[in-house]
Amino acid sequence: MRPCESLGVIISKEGTSNIVLLVLRAVVGVNMAWLHGWEKLSHFGAKAASFPDPLGITPKYSLGLAVAGEFFGAILMAVGLLGRAGAFLVSVASALTLFWILHGTAWREREVWALYFAGSTTVLLLGCGRFSLDTLVWKKLGKGGGKAGAKT
């Protein structure tokens, strides 16, 4: 492929949607992991007894699920490795926080969780796109990959 042809692939509608999915995954995933998940993971012991328990499974297990979604799920979504599974974990963690834990609080306090929920749900529904580790893995295994986000 000549250089101009490869530039045309990136600028095409399919290429643009793949870039948008990459940016969305990276921004939502890195911010969620860094600003929320890492703090919970690094202070797990101190938070385990007093963490909100919206599912009634004890504060320790609720915190574990929050860490799974807000840190590990966010990292998976950001790099696009098992990206839809990661996006699912982030969506669930965001939805629980938005609709259950922060229910009744001012919208200003819930706004960021609505954005996390919207971004992760978009990745969950559309996939990670061409610029993801999932695509590389599936290509190496000869199983396809490399399609636009909406087609994967």
Determine, yes or no, domain membership for 1.
Answer: no
According to the model, what pLDDT value does residue 144 have?
Answer: 61
Where in the sequence is the domain holding 113, given as residue range(s)? 15-151
Task: Indicate whether 23 belongs to any domain.
Answer: yes
**Does the residue 101 lie in any domain?**
yes
5 found inside a domain: no
Residue 3 lies inside a defined structural domain of this protein: no
pLDDT in tens, 16-47: 899 999 999 999 999 999 999 999 999 999 99
Mean pLDDT on 133-142: 85
Kindly report, residue by residue over 56-97, the tens digit of the pLDDT.
Answer: 999 999 999 999 999 999 999 999 999 999 999 999 999 999
| pTM of the shown model | 0.82
- Please return the burial class of 63, using the count of CB atoms within 10 Å of its CB with bins 0-12, 13-18 and 19+: buried
Give how many domains the chain has, as a whole number.
1
Residue 40 lies in a domain: yes
